[in-house]
Homo-oligomer: A and B are copies of this chain.
């Protein structure tokens, strides 16, 4: 590795090692101090470079790509506030276990806290939100330093992964010249021939990280609890595809079948949809309507939980209010259970745990379980009722026979009419709650993503487009108007990063979710400070970013959506709703489900 000066050498060595370590993509925002990194990334034949102009959007785009692939995506920015713009996405990556490699250019030590331009304190900028922080040494053609640099690249990639993936921050000081300008003798020819200079054919340090496994004997208490359970339940909370990549859903289904446990699958669990799901009148094991009926069913006595805390508040409350033994299985051994009802925490890789459990059952561990025969039947009945009521509502909407069309119908259609496969990104606030309640389990290979780590609405569009950039799957984004406004800059990636999407915009002019909260009854300040209607008509964003923008009537949505899925380019399908009426509609549907259930029970 030769270079005209130390800064250029640093960029080239770092990028060379990152590529050898498997890094495939980087998001770069323009800047001067980061020139050595940008030049090296742009010149590398094996790394895809996505250029962004707003660092906040850049970071969420990288987050989305990493969410979808499970592979680290790098981020590059110049010094100063640019780095702080990465902070929201770094936070989400931390909470949601997404591998991000953040490279911030910085002034060298002698210029810090000196009043030098665009110089701020970037040391440990993201606090404890990163898995690892390191400051690169001052660039210099010194063998030990360069070996440390190559090792740091390998280490940084490794630290983004493992059982608890997340963001890593390398702060990278550079001294001028930043461009590939010749500085005589700064990088001697002889240096290029050293091991530090040449590196190895493959990564300087190949890294492998094991995973937590519990051998069969240590799973026996869980097995015994399941055998003894009368009302066992499996709850699958949000988990990105990578988080369950080693988990064979058939093993979960096998365990659930054997012990008679319904699997309540969060829309973000990546277990609600897929080939393991039986549909039709026999729901087999995967249930999706629980948000609407769980409050009416008996409490479980044994619960096995995987993934993060479920989106459904009724489900969280049902778990809280039960006296069940609750087993949390988590590959990082993390305590992600905010109702504090867990009784056992098992730090274990999910794939091996369920494989072992399935094998134990297969080998006759449980000759018979104590499951209550009514238990699964109650869930089946409730599930049927829930979807029947929903389907009736959809039919009414399609006939325009209701006064106020329903946001939930859009969410239902988004999933049922999706292509197979598809990547569906669902925004926070009401869209994910409606997906939770109205998206029926199905066999299609749908990858469902959301920013549910910190549940912000700040980078939704960019995260979705980043996810879309990673595969050839059709991409659908379902978002509300506040999130759409918040990350309107992210739409620039449609063109600059060449992503096609169908963007479903549920436009109810403000924060509809606040109607769910008691603040609804305090006016003022409810409308001005909480609901915050803005009156924005978003069509001009279509013109600005070269997107097709169609405002469709709710009953036309299904056709427009199917057409968009078939079309090239990015379409925004905006559908107007009135949020207060929608909340009343949700309540009414819920009431009908509960009434029907009561009738069935009698």
Show the binding face of A for B, using Cβ within 8 Å: 28, 30, 32, 35, 38-39, 42-43, 49, 51, 53-56, 80-82, 84-85, 87-88, 90-92, 94-95, 111, 113-121, 124-125, 127-129, 177-181, 308-309, 334-338, 340, 454-456, 458-459, 482, 485-486, 488-489, 492, 496, 511, 514, 517-519, 521-522, 524-525, 528-532, 534, 536-545
Contacts and interface: CB of A to CB of B under 8 A. Distances in A.
A120 B521 CA distance: 29
Contact of A336 (B91, B114, B488): B114
Contacts of A534: 53, 492, 496
Nearest to A115: B336
A38 B458 CA distance: 20
Nearest to A124: B127
Given A53-B532, A125-B127, A489-B486, A458 B117 contact: no
B454 A486 contact: no
Nearest to A56: B56
A38 B120 CA distance: 31
B115 A454 contact: no
Given A127-B127, A529-B49, A455 B114 contact: no
Contacts of A531: 30
A569 B386 CA distance: 52
Nearest to A237: B115
A90 B525 CA distance: 27
A85 B458 contact: yes
Contact of A81 (B30, B88, B117, B536): B88
A42 B115 contact: no
A130 to B, nearest CB: 11
B111 A482 contact: no
A38 B522 contact: no
Contact of A114 (B56, B340, B519, B542): B340
B485 A38 contact: no
Contact of A120 (B94, B496, B529, B541): B94
Given A82-B456, A117-B309, A179-B519, A485 B54 contact: yes
A55 B531 CA distance: 16
A455 to B, nearest CB: 4
Nearest to A516: B32
Contact of A30 (B309, B530, B542): B530
B454 A337 contact: no
A179 B514 CA distance: 12
B30 A529 contact: yes
Contacts of A529: 28, 30, 38-39, 42, 49, 51
Nearest to A54: B486
A116 B542 CA distance: 37
Contact of A51 (B522, B528, B544, B545): B528
A207 B94 CA distance: 41
Given A30-B511, A30-B530, A81-B92, 5 more contacts: A30-B529, A114-B340, A115-B336, A121-B127, A485-B489
Contacts of A81: 87-88, 91-92, 454, 456, 458-459
A85 B129 CA distance: 15
Q: Could you say which of A39, A94, A530 has the most chain B C-beta atoms within 10 Å of its C-beta?
A: A530
Given A94-B120, A482-B53, A529-B42, A519 B35 contact: yes
Contacts of A340: 114
B30 A82 contact: no
A309 B540 CA distance: 41
Given A53-B482, A338-B116, A544-B541, A84 B91 contact: yes
Nearest to A123: B127
Contacts of A542: 540
A454 B121 CA distance: 10
A519 B43 CA distance: 14
Nearest to A428: B118
A30 B527 CA distance: 10
Contacts of A486: 53-54, 489
Contacts of A42: 524-525, 528-529
A338 B119 CA distance: 10
A115 B179 contact: no
A463 to B, nearest CB: 11
Contacts of A458: 54-55, 81-82, 85
Contact of A544 (B88, B454, B518, B536): B536
12 contacts: A39-B529, A53-B486, A53-B532, A54-B485, A55-B458, A111-B338, A114-B336, A114-B340, A115-B309, A120-B454, A121-B127, A540-B541
A310 to B, nearest CB: 10
A537 B495 CA distance: 14
Nearest to A90: B84
A80 B528 contact: no
B525 A38 contact: yes
Contact of A121 (B32, B129, B540): B129
A492 B70 CA distance: 36
Q: Could you say which of A54, A120, A488 has the most chain B C-beta atoms within 10 Å of its C-beta?
A: A120
> Ordered nearest first, which 10 A-B pairs have the shortest CB separation?
A115-B336, A81-B456, A540-B540, A116-B338, A42-B525, A84-B87, A81-B88, A114-B338, A540-B543, A540-B544
A482 B82 CA distance: 13
Contacts of A129: 120-121
A335 B114 contact: yes
A233 B192 CA distance: 49
Given A488-B489, A522-B180, A529-B49, A338 B115 contact: yes
